Amino acid sequence: MASSTTGTDEGAFKTPKNVRVKSFASSGGTPVTIPASPFMKKLGCGTGVNVYLMDRMGKLNASPWAVKKINRKCADKQVAVYQKRLNEEAKVLKGIDHPNIVGFRAFATAKDGSKCLAMEYGGEQSLNDLIEKRKEDGLKAFPVANIEKVALHVARGLRYLHNEKKLLHGDMKSCNVVIKGDFESVKICDVGVSLQLDENMRVSDPKADYIGTEPWKPMEALEEGGEISDKADMFAYGLTLWEMMTLAMPHLEMLGDDDDKEDEDDSMDEESFDEDAYYERLGTRPTLDVEALGSSYQRMVELFFLCTEEEPKKRPSAAQVVQALESNAPLDKTPCEVIVID
């Protein structure tokens, strides 16, 4: 999910009536009624998809669902690509059961052929939404306790994907982490571009494309013929923690001279964007003002540094991160090169 919006999807009035469909849901094939897009609250959007809140009123003790649907405004060729991706996401999500990963509820095809993936929803917002709100409120880094909780719970979700399901998430970032309430729960979402891993934690299909999102891509995903492993997720995971410490997007908002922008609108326009500098920085570790954060953030800063090593072998695995965080062990005791932070 990307940034949150409300309202209706103006392009969806071609199917104004509720569509009764059958799914291969956890309900065992029980017919599921998916309302047409205009009759659901829009929660957010992603590449080629919109996400809606489906209020299941009338069903005893029924919790609401988040329903992901293809954006019908996409070109016909793109719609086919996104439908295939959503179908793959439904298959993957159906086989996943972990408290730190958004759960599967139903998968359906509407009469117009559009795919509808229903997922658990407990009032969550994306971490990216929370970052944007915090920035709008003029606040700085999240409290360290919030960052530590996200770090542990996302690492647990990634450990499950990597070790038990042999899956690379493939698109870790703040948009794909959902938070309930005051960090009551932390869950990974959007497994639609996940890739199968082999016993060595490398992507098993050499022809498989690592999709990712450009600012969060590690160097190996940007290089021709780069070997993709579970460590690609760990690089993006490190940048997700960086987002919480800086309230910025990797390699974009930090490009300019911050001292010159203190009293100006910090939004970036196309004219001020240094494209060459941006592409030179992709796949590298973005800068972090450690001194401004203070000593209480040292542990999260160390984790960020370890996970954003350019060489994949120097990054910790998700299992190593979980072990270190759960045992409160020093992060530099992992089998990674020790990072000294001045």
Domain annotation covers residue 333 = no
Report d(CA 320, CA 300) in Å as an integer. 15
Domain annotation covers residue 64 = yes
Q: Bridge partners of 33?
A: 20
Report d(CA 321, CA 319) in Å as an integer. 5
pLDDT at 184: 95
Considering 85, 120, 155, which residue would you say is the last residue of a domain?
120
Report d(CA 323, CA 85) in Å as an integer. 33
Q: Which of 29, 328, 303 is nearest to 154 (CA)?
A: 303
- Residue 191's domain is classified under what CATH number? 1.10.510.10
Q: Does 132 lie in the same domain as 111?
A: no
Identify the segments of the chain with pLDDT beneath 50: 1-27, 257-266, 334-342
Q: Does 199 lie in the same domain as 86?
A: no
Q: Does 99 lie in the same domain as 221?
A: no
Q: Does 105 lie in the same domain as 156?
A: no
pLDDT at 127: 97
pLDDT at 334: 44
238 in helix, strand or coil? helix
Q: Does 138 lie in the same domain as 87?
A: no
Domain annotation covers residue 272 = no
- Residue 65's domain is classified under what CATH number? 3.30.200.20
Report d(CA 159, CA 101) in Å as an integer. 11
DSSP state for residue 43 in the 8-state scheme: E
pTM of the model: 0.82
Which pair of structure tokens corresponds to residue 226? 């780069």
Q: Does 170 lie in the same domain as 105?
A: no
What are the distances in angstroms from CA 331 to CA 16, 131, 286?
54, 26, 20
Number of domains in the chain: 2
Residue by residue, DSSP assigns 245-298 as HHSS-TTTTTSS-GGGGTTS-----TTT--HHHHHHHTBSPPP--HHHH-GGGH
| Residue that the structure tokens 């530590």 belong to | 148
Domain annotation covers residue 137 = yes
Q: Show the CA angle centred on residue 170, arms to residues 3 and 319, nearest 5°.
A: 110
Helix, strand, coil percentages in the chain from 3-state DSSP, rounded to 5: 35, 15, 45
Which pair of structure tokens corresponds to residue 31? 């017919």
**CB contact set of 294 (below 8 Å; sequence gap of 6+):** none
Domain annotation covers residue 286 = yes
Residue by residue, DSSP assigns 156-214 as HHHHIIIIIS-EE----SGGGEEEETTTTEEEE---TT-EEB-TTSBBS-TT------G
Q: Does 293 lie in the same domain as 163?
A: yes
pLDDT per residue over 208-237, tens digit each? 999 999 999 999 999 988 999 999 999 999
The C-alpha R_g of the chain, in whole angstroms, comes to: 20
Considering 77, 100, 120, which residue would you say is the last residue of a domain?
120
Domain annotation covers residue 283 = yes
Query: Do 293 and 245 contact (CB within 8 A), yes or no?
Result: yes
Report d(CA 216, CA 69) in Å as an integer. 25
Query: Do 275 and 255 contact (CB within 8 A), yes or no?
Result: no
Host domain of residue 173: 125-254+277-327
pLDDT at 103: 94
Helix (H) or strand (E) holding 129, with range, is helix 127-136
Domain annotation covers residue 267 = no
* Catalytic center residues: 171
Q: Does 108 lie in the same domain as 140?
A: no
Q: Bridge partners of 66?
A: 53, 119
Considering 70, 105, 120, which residue would you say is the last residue of a domain?
120
